[in-house]
Structure 1
Amino acid sequence: MKTQIDVIPFGGLGNRLRVLNSALYLSQKIGAKVSLGWIVKAELNTDFNNLYESATIPFERVGSFRMTLFHYFLKHIFVQKYTGVYKIILSLFYDLIIFDNEALNWSKEELIEKTTGSKKVLIATCYQFWDFPDYNNFVLTRDLKAKVESYSRSFENVIGVHVRRTDHIDIIKASSLNSYFEQMDKTLKESPERSFFICSDDAEVKKELKDKYGNKVFFNEIELSRASTVGMEGAILDIYLLAKTEKIIANSKSSFAVLASKIGKNKEIIEV
């Protein structure tokens, strides 16, 4: 009997996709079946299928009854705080439970040994726990794919710039706006024909970059928000347009930037 893996990815889109991708590539290694439990909450208020049509590595969806339980019961902040209690309760339904600690610390050998020795496995984390080459197995909806192709048709000699400013304190502290200016100035000095696609969650940052670099920068005038499907469609357009650039100036602690760098052809992240 095949191992059944239920995967519950926590966090924003970048975190969730790296968890799902980890589970899918692990499943290929051990011959397991994967079911996705995509919890629609404030940190990502839209379903997977509103953004993606399918995946080339197949998976199913967790059933509605169990998803209802997960939605109200499985909260990442509480799982982190009361890990032992959650494991006792969930062990009634699963032979093996993998939370953040296991995802971060188990070796490949441990993962293979413990998952293949279990019939029912629950993986609930925001961390990558298995290697994968890229994110090309996820297929955008037709509408989103058409928009990406339409918007990126004129991309030539374009460098991506991802400036995260509203929700990641470590990145804000580590990467000042001046550090982005330095890399952009260096790029233009070496290659004056370059232009920049700006991807940022801060309208003031976009304005400041536009004031400084004029027609050398451009960006989407669309809603970017985790709180709605429309806002998430805007965010995913930014990710896939960032993926159409040649290189990405960003802080690599951002899963958003790392995700974009591994869509299509793998791209260099110029660290700030």
Structure 2
Amino acid sequence: MTTLDPTVVDTGTTVRRSRFQLPGGESAAMLLVLPIVVVVLFIGFVIWRQTADLDSIEESTLAWGAIWEQLRDHIVITLVSSVIVVAVAVPLGILLTRGRARAIAPAVVAVANAGQAAPSIGLIVLLAIWLGFGFWTAVLGLVVYGLLPVLRNTITGLQGVDPTLVEAGRGIGMSGPEVLLRVELPLALPVIMAGIRTALVLVVGTAALVTFIGAGGLGGALTSGITLFRFPVMVAAALLIALLALLIEWVGRVLEIVLRPKGI
């Protein structure tokens, strides 16, 4: 009588499950839930907007042309700020884990902490008073506010790499930059991407405040709703900002999965 080896059966089951498993232990189904929720809620918003009984002020504030313009401005300022955050924070984090620069890493993180600890609206308005109102002042404020998560996670991720792996890379003849690019950064990438995702959500949420310095965005509709005591406008603007934040966070999660090296 032939008996089945339970080890073989378990292994086979594991293989079948792994086909539906993404790197990092996240299933493909879970990854699809968030965009589906965003699409469903946005369709609900569109249906509500088309059928709602709005007065003339609400109608003009929530006109499709105005909504799309504010949404476009919000996305542009978020993307520009996020790219600058990554371009500054990741190289700076790498530098602060090299050689003598490690000694000043705590001081740099403390400065970044101070920037994020300051009230976002206060920081943005103070920068506007100093540098003038407009798009690039808003970008600077968002960059300062979003810098910390990426910088902190870059330093933490690189410091968490097993030193024996670094020594092994040097032992097979890799140069310092090669060890960084082929060993340290790939292993630290999940931690770095987690920081980038956090920064994306912070930036897209805080971007609602740049309307106070003339930089546009969905904060304009939100401010109008609050100022004019129009509850439908407030809810609509808040919903669109929340949906955009969820979508941006999902994009960051997808990028993390795509960029994650195989086997990690």
TM-score tier by shorter-chain length is: under 0.3
Q: TM-score scaled by structure 2?
A: 0.22
Q: Which has the higher strand share?
A: 1
Structure number with greater Rg is 2
